[in-house]
Structure 1
Amino acid sequence: MRPARSAALSWYQLKRDLDAEKSEATKDKQSEDMRSRNTEVAHPAVKRIRKTVGRGMVNLCADLIVHLSIQISVDITDTFFRAFQHRQRVDRCCGLFDEDSGTASVHNQTTAQLRDLVHNLSLEQLKYQELLNSFKSAFNQRMESLELSIAYAHNSQRSLISAQQRYYLQLIKSRDRDLDVLSSELTSTRLLQLDEVRNSLFDVNSSLASLSSQLAEVFAHIRRKTAQNVQLSILDVILSDQCNQSCAYSLTKLSDAIFGLKEHIKHLVSVVAFLGVLAACGLSNRVRV
């Protein structure tokens, strides 16, 4: 902003100098000089130098380009203002002033300042363009790296999920195999236990059958013995010629013998019941095993 401010002050000083010169010279002579110079001033093609900065092309004007902040149109000669407004060459427009006057050096200094200002602005524009290009490239690189990071994270998440799914499927399959093995073992164990129970029942039944046959033989033998004893007692009573006392004694003896046989029979029945209980207990123990 300081070069623009100094340029504005220079233009204001130039205006005052022009007013002083206009008051000294005649208006007709100045108008004729301006007309003659206007006819000589053409619209030359502006020389431009093209420079490549990064990806874009920046055009640098080698001649004076009037900045908007220094376009002062207050009481400036129309020809001079149009020359700056239409970006004509400054050196031709500067011929409007007399080189021998005291303001020629001021005008030349102002022109040099304006040229320096334009050059600085062009350099700033190049600098900003370079910064913009570098920012764009850095931003594109950051975006590419971000996209790659997102893709990598997505792939990592998918691989992790698939690995966990495979792991859990393997666990389920191994559990099913273990359950199948356990069920087969339980089935085989149950079948073996059933076979053992059936064999034990068959043994118990066979032992009970043999025991019942033995008991039947014992009862038959007891009955035979009882019948023989009764018969012998009766024969003794009939054949004996003893007195009534001896008969009573015989009857008493017979009754004692019968009572003894009954007791013996009761004892045998209790023994058979005890054997049955023992057989039942052995069967239950085998079933529990």
Structure 2
Amino acid sequence: MTGTLVLAGTPIGDLADAPPRLARELAAADIVAAEDTRRLRRLTQALEVQPGGRVVSYFEGNEAARTPELADALAGGARVLLVTDAGMPSVSDPGYRLVAAAVERGIAVTAVPGPSAVLTALALSGLPVDRFCFEGFLPRKAGERLSRLAESAAERRTLVFFEAPHRLAATLSAMAEVFGAERPAAVCRELTKTYEEVRRGPLAELADWASQGVRGEITVVVEGAPEPGPQEWDDAGLARLVATREEAGESRKEAIAAVAKEVRRPKREVFDAVVAVKRDSGRAAPGRAASGPARTGG
């Protein structure tokens, strides 16, 4: 008989939000794998429960090395409970490797549903929630961040991101550049905690607010792109999307192909738009010769 892997959702702020079943699972598990054993201790004290089995750490630094050990324990019949610092394991937290290893071995995987920063932020944002996509954390480097955002420029579903407070202003500025300064968004801070705050407004306005400094756990919700009309993307808009991707390191050919797919326009139209804008730019600057379609940036 093989064991069972249990993924347990934990509170994202208020420990009183812990699901009732969590205490029972903590007491029954043979092994509790915790992202932070100190936070687990605070949680078990709040729930007035003692883990019934062995407690081990399972975090980003040891996830790859510890997964085989836990998978072997599951194969031997152990009930393993996986908890992360907040929310559901595997969602921008450790867990995916262990789930994949368990599935590969035919081991049962179940979950204890719990609080979710993604769903909580969506519900509080005031933005459409009928269709959405979760993007997690954006890359730290500015060029890679712009490239990732450019991939979502034409996404019509509501977008949800996690972000660190010290990078929030830069991220919102990049979003305003790629998505448009007036795109509606919401910054959800310290959800379910004492100083919970939801700030709503256009991306440019939120970026200006964040430049003063923001603390706490951050979830950003951004309204999806409007339904594109036949004339919605003019030459300048298409050229700007291509330029953003080029600045992030893509070749012009790659950028044009990606933008054409995003906005659902033929590649030839996007190429012609880039050429037209470059030609017009050359005319506006008499001292510079207009260049052809070949890429000139780095």
Q: Place the TM-score, normalised by the shorter chain, in its bin.
A: under 0.3
Structure holding more helix per residue: 1
Q: Which has the higher strand share?
A: 2
Please report the TM-score for the alignment, with normalisation by the length of structure 2: 0.20
